[in-house]
Structure 1
Amino acid sequence: MSKRNHFLKAMMLASAVALPAVASAQDITVPQALKDKGSLVVGIESSYPPMAYRDTATNERIGLNIDLVTAIGKKLGVEVQWEEMGFEQLMTSVETGRIDMIGAAISDLPKRREKMTFVDYLVTGAQPFTLTANAQSLKTNDDLCGKRVGAPSFTSYFPEAKKWSDKNCVNAGKPAMTVNGTNGATATRLDLKQGRLDAGVLGPEFVVHLMRDEPNTYALVGEPLLTTLFGLAFKKEDTAARDAVAQAIDALIADGTYAEILKKYGLEKWAMASTKIDAGN
């Protein structure tokens, strides 16, 4: 059984709160405050395809999260008001009430739940990948030992790659991965293509996007080094809005909209059967 399947089995058995699926908007409990305001203010950072990014031809904001949050707004019967900002501003903005929800791709991590609460809607992780030219020598995770592997230094991928190397390479008597911190996903891809790295570690959703954007250029290496969940984030005390959004997503799962959105971006493999609350690890 793969690491992802182990994770999904454990997630289903976890003690985190799971909300029952609903079939229609009539079953969703929309907070009165949200009804009165008539809009859901959503913080977004539009530079991470395929989750949220700009169409190069039209500059229109597009992506999986854009489609999903728009569908959520329709289920709730409210307008979605987007607030564009840098990723580093998102958490502060939801904590201070400037926005109601973080709609960007953000991992539900225990340390983040000190101030926020999450509706988990998609499986993600730290996926190694390489160029197709290297694919014959880099097939499994163990093949990464002794190799130069890059990951964005400001993400959890960087320390997790180091931990994985210590546990699976060094402790097994193999040479450690040389884990290089990069300046983001684009820099990781560039360093790989220019030969400064043997492999990169990014979210599987971004790797899927790269493989669609540049066919026959990249290849996956083994399984994710870790698997966790993407969540839509709320201020910790705002459980009413959180639960309404969870019910809306479950309604989208029930009517097939969720599956259609994931298929559009090639991410069916990472679907969840229902939402979870604060279940990331």
Structure 2
Amino acid sequence: MSTLKPAIRILHAVAFGTALAILLPMGASAQNITLPEKLKSAGTIVVGIESTYPPMAYKDPKTNERIGVNIDLVESIARELSVKVKWEEMSFEQLMTSLTTGRIDMIGTAISDLPSRREKLTFVDYLVTGAQPFTTVAKKDTIKSEADLCGKTIGAPRTTNYYPIAQAWSEKNCVAAGKPAATINGTAGATATRLDLKQGRLDAAVLGPEFVAHLMADEPNTYALAGEPLTRTLFGFAFNKGETGLRDAVAAALTAIIKSGAYGKTLQKFGLERQAMNDVKIDAGT
């Protein structure tokens, strides 16, 4: 997977800004992590996952095994907490409802930590991300930067924050500037977005920089960046807002993983080193 590295240049634009957050001590270890008693007794954490978003969580086409950055990180966290992971596969739309109704204990899918989501959820932030526009090589001469997106048809998964981000960007940067608005099409997901772009139904698309990097490595000479990311935010593991005990235990375990070097090795394995965080943060996404 090291072939992803050249494509990660896009992450220069999502470098950290200043954010208020709870920073956890780098000296955290399994010996001083307190796991809620009900989970400690069960010996298992139920984790909701949607395995359609490489390189974060997806199925290996050769073995159909679930793999990815989030899979490795959650398994490492579970080892720190001395529990097992029970994966619950579901659609992205089902994740938050399943969490708030108690069907799952945490969301292990790559989900952006947004203020609007913190009305019901709380997050352990673990990776820098953003909203990266891209196009096909065939159209790269006409869509060289994000400014060229005005008047174009852009796709983004309707169940993610990329969809409203693209809409808001068009209003601010196209309509308000007297340019034609971009037409934002809500797609059925990242895979559908890629297919619509390849088949010419879209001029450009907006997805996370990690997925765009994966696509560019997986299908060389097919895609091209369309300027800089439209926004910058953080991915977080999500918990019911009232379950701060589990959240803090996971944050402490992740801190230990960062200290041990396992976190860095996981990101390197999937070519996402430039998206790394130096410290674990709580509810710091913007």
* Pairwise TM-score range, normalised by the shorter structure: over 0.9
- Choose from 2, 14, 34 the match for 1:4: 14
- Choose from 208, 217, 230 the match for 1:212: 217
Shift of 1:144: 1.5
Structure 2 residue matching 1:155: 3-state secondary structure:
coil
Q: Which stretch of the first structure deviates more once superposed, 22-31 or 99-108?
A: 22-31
- Choose from 128, 132, 135 the match for 1:130: 135
In 2: Cα distance, 1:131 partner to 1:40 partner: 41
What TM-score, normalized by structure 2, do the two folds share? Answer: 0.91
Q: 2:88 matched to which residue of 1?
A: 83
What TM-score, normalized by structure 1, do the two folds share? Answer: 0.92
RMSD: 1.8
**Equivalent pair of 1:22/1:28 in contact (CA under 8 Å):** no
Tell me the alpha carbon deviations over residues 191-218 of structure 1, each in whole angstroms, 9 at most, x when there is no partner. 2112222211111121111112111211
**Equivalent pair of 1:234/1:242 in contact (CA under 8 Å):** yes
Shift of 1:70: 0.4
Q: 2:114 matched to which residue of 1?
A: 109
Shift of 1:66: 0.5
**Equivalent pair of 1:23/1:255 in contact (CA under 8 Å):** no
1:279 aligns with 2:262: no
Shift of 1:257: 0.9
In 2: Cα distance, 1:183 partner to 1:241 partner: 32
1:190 aligns with 2:195: yes
Aligned length: 276
Structure 2 residue matching 1:88: 3-state secondary structure:
helix
Shift of 1:26: 2.4
Residue identity in the other structure for 2:112? S
Tell me the alpha carbon deviations over residues 209-244 of structure 1, each in whole angstroms, 9 at most, x when there is no partner. 111211121111222111111111111111111011
**Equivalent pair of 2:92/2:159 in contact (CA under 8 Å):** no
Q: Which stretch of the first structure deviates more once superposed, 68-77 or 138-147?
A: 138-147
**Equivalent pair of 1:130/1:200 in contact (CA under 8 Å):** yes
Residue identity in the other structure for 1:264? K
In 2: Cα distance, 1:182 partner to 1:242 partner: 32
Tell me the alpha carbon deviations over residues 96-144 of structure 1, each in whole angstroms, 9 at most, x when there is no partner. 2221111111111222211111111111121101112222332221121
Q: Structure 2 unaligned runs (5+)?
A: 1-11
1:17 aligns with 2:59: no
In 2: Cα distance, 1:256 partner to 1:210 partner: 27
**Equivalent pair of 2:93/2:159 in contact (CA under 8 Å):** no
1:147 aligns with 2:157: no
**Equivalent pair of 1:64/1:261 in contact (CA under 8 Å):** yes
* Structure-to-structure mapping, 1:1-281, within 5 angstroms: 3-5=13-15, 8-11=16-19, 14=20, 16-22=21-27, 24-281=29-286
Shift of 1:23: 5.2
Structure 1 residue matching 2:245: 3-state secondary structure:
helix
In 2: Cα distance, 1:97 partner to 1:179 partner: 34
In 2: Cα distance, 1:237 partner to 1:151 partner: 31
Q: Which stretch of the first structure deviates more once superposed, 212-221 or 173-182?
A: 173-182
In 2: Cα distance, 1:153 partner to 1:227 partner: 18
Q: 2:9 matched to which residue of 1?
A: none
Structure 1 residue matching 2:78: 3-state secondary structure:
helix
